[in-house]
């Protein structure tokens, strides 16, 4: 048994019966949808058409929401239905990030994730899903894909079908007959802040395209970017535009359509909440500090950069533990069901980097905490110094490994977020380590203002700080944003950060305050100014604030792009 859906858009009349039948069957609250119908208008009068598309969970054969769920609240049944259990869900919203189809929402009543579950409660008593039954046109077909004689199998076999975002590798089992590219591709149709009969109250949006004045358009052509250069042959050519962003100023238009502002526009869609807000970038910063401090600590002592200083070790470990603790608090606070946090420990789903991360953080906290107690014990002469000293390399080594994992696991977690292409960056783990070293170094420099560091330690920290600032800047400018992105969604998100809504945070915050200012301060200090308290504090604040603003843009921008 392998259940799937087929939407026959040849027959769909856009009546929304599926939407209300689903609300009725599953008692779905206002504000969220398990299935909805998107409208896109295209064409210039009188050759205009409105395309419909029924959207919902794709019941992917390879569901990313299941892989990322830390507690098996989202799971794939053996009959192919992707189901959820609100009794287990902790509300981490990772599944919403993993879903490339905007199919998952947080239920306002239970505060847990929810979506279309193929009416599995009906299927188990032998009934079709409610949307299938209600559809006046029998345009929604459910059935067993394993059965070659089922209606769905035969239609898929005989008709040309398409799926949404096959490149995500999710193997969707929601097939469409004659769905239009303008509805299949979320970025193909721009929308304004309201629809043909409904408002749009959401943070999620793609840029609104405004038409240039008609006279600036070239009739019969693309219109934009009129001849800018000359080819070798002498023919006038257009300058290539930015990679990955599609046609600047809107979708490709045809014929007389280029004269029309609203050649393609979204006329109706459901709105979707953004799952993660400020706690996530804040968590990235605190985790960077917490893990980075221990990495530095281990490196400094492990590589004998500086002689072991118990005071420094204790203070630094305490700081590390504090920031990792803060990290955990932020993580838990951001859960919709924080009281269920421990479910991760009781029913871990090991494929999820959220689970792995939680265990890494816990492991790190336990190890660092134990070491802190040992060193503290030795410091207070409760424990023999020799024993502690002998164990020290073990703790430093294991702690180093766990701290590195703590710093980088978010990269793998973000990598599991199939719905956010920008986050799926191979550079991310290394980037996270560099960021961790950068903020940890400056925090430890601040610490040095209270407990005087040995000179070699201070120097090492300054060098680390300076080097990580440079490397991080390099990674940001050339890696994350200079390098073209593999998908349009990633490119659009990056564009929003560097040129759009977040350009202030990015250039002013991340680049200027977060990197150039501290670098300038470092150079000033190194060239004779020295590193006074105020100097270090300014550098630290600018670096931490810059990192936060960077992470904020990095976390928010991809979420604001529609996945449907």
Partner 1 sequence: MHQRLNRFLEAVASLSSRLSPELSLAGTAIPAVDAARPKAANLSALPGAQERSPSASPLVAKGEAAGLSSYPPVEKWDEWEEYDPKAWPERVKRRYMLIPTTCFNCESACGLLGYVDKDSLEIQKFEGNPLHPGSRGRNCAKGPATHNQVYDPERVLYPLKRAGKRGEGKWVRVTWDQVLEDLGERLRKAFQEGRHNQVIYHVGRPGHDGLMEWVLFAWGVDSHNSHTNVCSSGARAGYAFWMGLDRPSPDHANARVVLLISSHLETGHYFNPHAQRIMEAKMAGARLIVLDTRLSNTASLADYWLSPWPGSEAAILLAIANHLIHTGRYDREFVKTWVNWEQYLKAEWPAEPCTFETFEEKLKELYGEYTFEFAAAESGVEAEVIRQVAEEVARCEGKLASHTWRSATAGNLGGWQVARALWFLNVLTGSIGVEGGTSANAWDKWVPRPHKMPPHPDRWNELTWPDEYPLTFYELSILLPHFLKEGRGVIDTYFTRVYNPVWTNPDGMSWMEVLTDEEKMGLHVCLTPTWSETAWFADYVLPMGHAAERHDITSQETHGGRWIAFRQPVRRVALERMGQDVNYTYEANPGEVWEETEFWIELSWRIDPDGSLGIRQYFESPYRPGEKITAVEYFRWMFENTVPGLPEAAAERGLSPLEYMRRYGAFEIRAGVEAPYIQPVEAELLEDAHVDPETRIVYSRAPAPASPNITPHPAFPDDGGGRPVGLQVGDQALRGFDTPSRRLEFYSPTLRQWGWPEHTIPGYIHSHVHPEVIDQQANEFVLIPTFRLPTLIHTRSGNSKWLYEISHKNPLWVHPRDAARLGLRTNDLVRVSTEIGYYVIKAWVTEGIRPGVVACSHHMGRWRLQDTAMERWSSALVDLTPQGEGRWQMRHRQGVLPFESSDPDSKRIWWSDVGVHQNLTFPVHPDPISGMHCWHQKVVLEKARPEDRYGDIYVDTDRAHAVYREWLALTHPASQVSPDGTRRPYWLLRPFRPTRAAYQLPSGKFAE
Contacting partner 1 (CB under 8 A), which of 7, 25, 420, 551? 25
Q: How far is the CB of 339 from partner 1 (least distance, A)?
A: 19
Q: In this chain, which of 194, 216, 241, 243 binds partner 1, going by CB under 8 A?
A: 194
Tell me whether residue 87 or residue 238 sits nearer to partner 1 (CB atom).
87
CB of 453 to partner 1, least distance (A): 55
Q: Which is nearer to partner 1, 213 or 234 (CB)?
A: 213
Q: How far is the CB of 175 from partner 1 (least distance, A)?
A: 14
Shortest distance in whole angstroms from residue 358 CB to partner 1: 24
Q: Is 328 in the site for partner 1 (CB under 8 A)?
A: no
Number of residues that bind partner 1 (CB under 8 A): 79
Q: Least distance (Å) from partner 1 to the CB of residue 109?
A: 7
- In angstroms, what is the minimal distance from the CB of 278 to partner 1? 22
Q: Does 197 bind partner 1 (CB under 8 A)?
A: yes
> Exactly one of 4, 7, 35, 52 binds partner 1 (CB under 8 A); which one?
52
Structure-token pair, residue 152: 């769905």
Please tell me whether the peptide bond between 56 and the residue prior to it is cis, using omega within 30 degrees of 0.
no
| Residue 203 contacts partner 1 per CB under 8 A | no
Element (H, E) at 547: helix 533-559
Binding span for partner 1 by CB under 8 A among 28-36, 305-313, 332-340, 423-431: 28-36
Choose between 128 and 458: whose C-beta lies nearer to partner 1.
Answer: 128
CA distance 121 to 119: 5
Angstrom distance (rounded) from CA 92 to CA 440: 27
Helix (H, G, I), strand (E, B) or coil at 160: coil
Phi, psi of 540 (to 5 degrees): -65, -50
Q: Least distance from C-beta 131 to partner 1, angstroms?
A: 10
Residues 75-114 touching partner 1, rule: CB under 8 A, are 83, 85, 87, 108-109
To 10 degrees, what angle do helices 517-524 and 455-474 make? 140
Which positions ≥6 away from 523 have C-beta within 8 Å?
A: none
What is each CA distance from 234 to 225, 227, 230, 237, in whole angstroms? Answer: 18, 12, 5, 9
Which residue's CB is nearer to partner 1, number 149 or number 167? 149
Q: Shortest approach of partner 1 to residue 124 CB, angstroms?
A: 7
What one-character DSSP code corresponds to residue 454?
P
Near partner 1 by CB under 8 A: residue from 31, 219, 393, 529: 31
Which one of residues 45, 232, 303, 455 is an interface residue with partner 1 (CB under 8 A)? 45
Q: Residue 133 in contact with residue 123, Cβ under 8 Å?
A: no
* CB-nearer residue toward partner 1: 21 or 471: 21
Cβ 435 to partner 1, closest distance in Å? Answer: 37
Q: Output the smallest distance, CB 183 to partner 1, in A.
A: 12
Residue span 242-261 as binding mask against partner 1, x where in contact by CB under 8 A, dash where not: ------------------xx
Nearer to partner 1, 181 or 261 (CB): 261
Residues 488-517 that bind partner 1 (CB under 8 A): none
Nearer residue to partner 1 within complex by CB, 204 or 265:
265
Contact 419, 97 (CB under 8 A): yes
450 binds partner 1 per the rule CB under 8 A: no
Measured distance CA(493)–CA(511) in Å, rounded = 17
CB of residue 411 to partner 1, shortest distance in Å: 33
State in angstroms the smallest separation of the CB of 226 from partner 1.
20
Residues 110 to 169: which contact partner 1 by CB under 8 A?
Answer: 117, 119-128, 130, 132-138, 142-144, 147, 149-151, 154-155
Instruction: Between 263 and 408, name the residue whose CB sits nearer to partner 1.
Output: 263
Q: Which is nearer to partner 1, 317 or 343 (CB)?
A: 343
- List Cα–Cα distances, 259 to 43, 209, 213, 238, 288, in angstroms: 11, 14, 9, 19, 51
User: Considering Cα of 515, then 518, then 524, then 525, what sign does the dihedral take?
Assistant: negative
The tokens of 296 are what? 């530095």
219 forms part of the interface with partner 1 (CB under 8 A): no
Sign for the pseudo-dihedral over CA of 75, 78, 79, 80: positive
Among 4, 5, 19, 300, binds partner 1 (CB under 8 A): 19
Binder of partner 1 out of 2, 50, 302, 470 (CB under 8 A):
50
Q: Kindly report each contact of residues 133-139 with a partner whose C-beta sits within 8 Å and lies 24 or more positions away, as own/partner.
A: 133/21, 134/17, 134/18, 134/20, 134/21, 135/17, 135/18, 136/13, 136/15, 136/17, 137/8, 137/11, 137/12, 137/13, 138/8, 138/11, 139/7, 139/8, 139/9, 139/10, 139/11, 139/12, 139/13, 139/54
| 86 CB neighbour count, 10 Å cutoff | 15
Q: Find residue 42's DSSP bridge partners.
A: 49, 264
* Closer residue to partner 1 in complex, CB, 197/232: 197
Q: Which is nearer to partner 1, 37 or 442 (CB)?
A: 37
Minimum CB distance to partner 1, residue 151 (Å): 5
Bridge partner residues of 142 (DSSP) = 5
Distance CA 545, CA 551 (A): 10
DSSP characters over 467-520: HHHHHHHHIIIIIITTSPPSSHHHHHHHHHHHTSTTHIIIIIIIIIIIIIHHHH
- The least distance separating partner 1 from the CB of residue 127, rounded to whole angstroms, comes to 6
Give the integer Cα–Cα distance in Å for 369 and 366: 5
**Closer to partner 1 by Cβ: residue 40 or 547:** 40
CA-angle at 419, arms to 415 and 422, nearest 5°: 60
The residue (of 125 and 239) whose beta carbon lies closer to partner 1 is 125
Which residue, 257 or 509, has its beta carbon nearer to partner 1? 257
**265-304: contacts with partner 1 (CB under 8 A):** 265, 267-268
């Amino acid at each position: 048994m392998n259940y799937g859906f087929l939407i026959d858009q040849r027959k769909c009349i856009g009546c929304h019966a599926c939407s209300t039948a689903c609300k009725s069957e599953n008692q779905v609250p206002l504000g969220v949808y398990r299935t909805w119908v998107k409208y896109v208008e295209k064409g210039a009068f009188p050759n205009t058409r409105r395309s419909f598309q029924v959207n919902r969970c794709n019941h992917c054969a390879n569901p990313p929401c299941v892989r990322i769920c830390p507690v098996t609240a989202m799971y794939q049944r053996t009959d192919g239905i992707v189901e959820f259990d609100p009794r287990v869900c902790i509300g981490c919203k990772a599944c919403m990030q993993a879903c490339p189809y905007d199919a998952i929402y947080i239920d306002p009543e239970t505060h847990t994730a929810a979506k279309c579950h193929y009416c599995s409660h009906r299927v188990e008593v032998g009934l079709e899903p409610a949307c299938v039954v209600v559809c006046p046109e029998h345009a929604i077909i459910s059935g067993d894909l394993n059965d070659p004689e089922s209606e769905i199998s035969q239609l898929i076999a005989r008709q040309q079908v398409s799926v949404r975002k096959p490149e995500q590798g999710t193997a969707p089992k929601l097939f469409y007959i004659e769905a239009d590219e303008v509805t299949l591709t979320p970025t193909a149709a721009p929308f304004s802040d309201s629809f043909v009969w409904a408002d749009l109250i959401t943070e999620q949006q793609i840029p609104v395209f405004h038409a240039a004045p008609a006279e600036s358009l070239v009739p019969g052509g693309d219109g934009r970017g009129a001849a800018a250069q000359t080819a070798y042959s002498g023919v006038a050519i257009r300058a290539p535009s930015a990679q990955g962003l599609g046609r600047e100023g809107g979708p490709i238009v045809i014929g007389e359509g280029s004269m029309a502002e609203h050649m393609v526009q979204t006329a109706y869609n459901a709105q979707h909440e953004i799952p993660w807000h400020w706690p996530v970038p804040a968590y990235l910063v605190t985790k960077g500090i917490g893990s980075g401090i221990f990495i530095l600590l281990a490196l400094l002592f492990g590589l004998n950069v500086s002689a072991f200083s118990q005071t420094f070790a204790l203070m630094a470990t305490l700081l590390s533990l504090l920031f990792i603790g803060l990290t955990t608090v932020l993580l838990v606070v951001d859960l919709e069901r924080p009281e269920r946090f421990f479910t991760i420990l009781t029913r871990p789903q090991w494929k999820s980097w959220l689970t792995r991360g939680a265990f890494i953080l816990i492991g790190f906290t336990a190890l660092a905490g134990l070491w802190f107690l040992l060193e503290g014990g030795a410091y207070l002469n409760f424990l023999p110094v020799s024993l502690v000293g002998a164990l020290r390399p073990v703790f430093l080594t294991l702690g180093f490994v766990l701290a590195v994992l703590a710093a980088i696991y978010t990269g793998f977690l973000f990598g599991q977020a199939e719905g956010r292409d920008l986050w799926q960056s191979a550079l991310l783990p290394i980037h996270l380590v560099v960021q961790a070293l950068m903020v940890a170094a400056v925090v430890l420099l601040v610490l040095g203002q209270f407990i005087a560091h040995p000179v070699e330690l201070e120097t090492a920290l300054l060098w680390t700080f300076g080097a990580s600032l440079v490397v991080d800047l390099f990674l940001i400018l050339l890696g994350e944003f200079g390098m073209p992105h593999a998908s349009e969604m990633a490119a659009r998100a990056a564009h929003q950060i560097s040129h759009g809504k977040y350009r202030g945070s990015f250039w002013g915050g991340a680049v200027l305050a977060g990197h150039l200012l501290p670098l300038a301060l470092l150079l000033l200090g190194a060239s004779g100014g020295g590193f006074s308290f105020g100097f270090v504090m300014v550098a630290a604040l600018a670096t931490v604030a810059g990192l936060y603003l960077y992470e904020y843009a990095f976390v928010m921008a991809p979420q604001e792009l529609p996945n449907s």
